[in-house]
Amino acid sequence: MLTMKFFSDAAIPDWMKPRATWARASVLLTVSSLILGGGAIVPSIAQQPPRTSPSPTPSATSTEALEQAIHTQINQYRRDQGLPPLTLDPRISEQARSHSQAMAAGRVAFGHDGFNQRGSAIRRTIAWNSIAENVATNQGYSDPDRRAVTGWINSSGHRQNIQGQYNLTGIGVARNSRGQYYFTQIFVRSRQN
């Protein structure tokens, strides 16, 4: 399902948020994107997969290693595009990780629920001009981090966040008991002193 959502620092009534839907059932990857600050319209994509036999995921893959791998892949993509790398900030990662854990545990639905609160929590420690978020989920891959990053890069809204004028990032990965991974990446453009 493709949903267009409008977000900015101001409260926007639900009826004003543009919405469109589009279903796809061919990819075992769910990605979603959100941006705050600039008032941009960014797509949010949720694709429901056909049920297939998952390939085994190595047990040695820690969520911390996946977070670092995503940071490396995103910065490599940015370098390839002539953009500066993003600095991984543990305060932002804490917020991203908490959201991924909440989605994995089923405490919140997959998506951007609570994004304004995450932005506010980050703002208490980092003065920022704009902030955006990508989320993804997948299951049954030996390279779940690469699948999430590839899905983001192949989606214009997610790619817009990755290529944005941000200087900081935080990444959180969680895995539930069914082996499903949840990914959150938050992008921040901090105010320059």
Q: For helices 63-80 and 144-153, what crossing angle results, to 10°?
A: 30
- Percent of the chain scored above 90 by pLDDT? 67
Q: Which residue has the higher pLDDT, 8 or 76?
A: 76
What average pLDDT is seen over the chain?
Answer: 76
What is the per-residue pLDDT across 3-55, written as a single tens digit (0 to 9) for each? 222 233 333 333 333 333 222 222 233 444 554 554 333 333 333 333 333 33
CA-to-CA dists, residue 4 to 22, 32, 46, 123, 142, angstroms: 11, 10, 11, 25, 31
CB atoms within 10 A of CB 68: 15
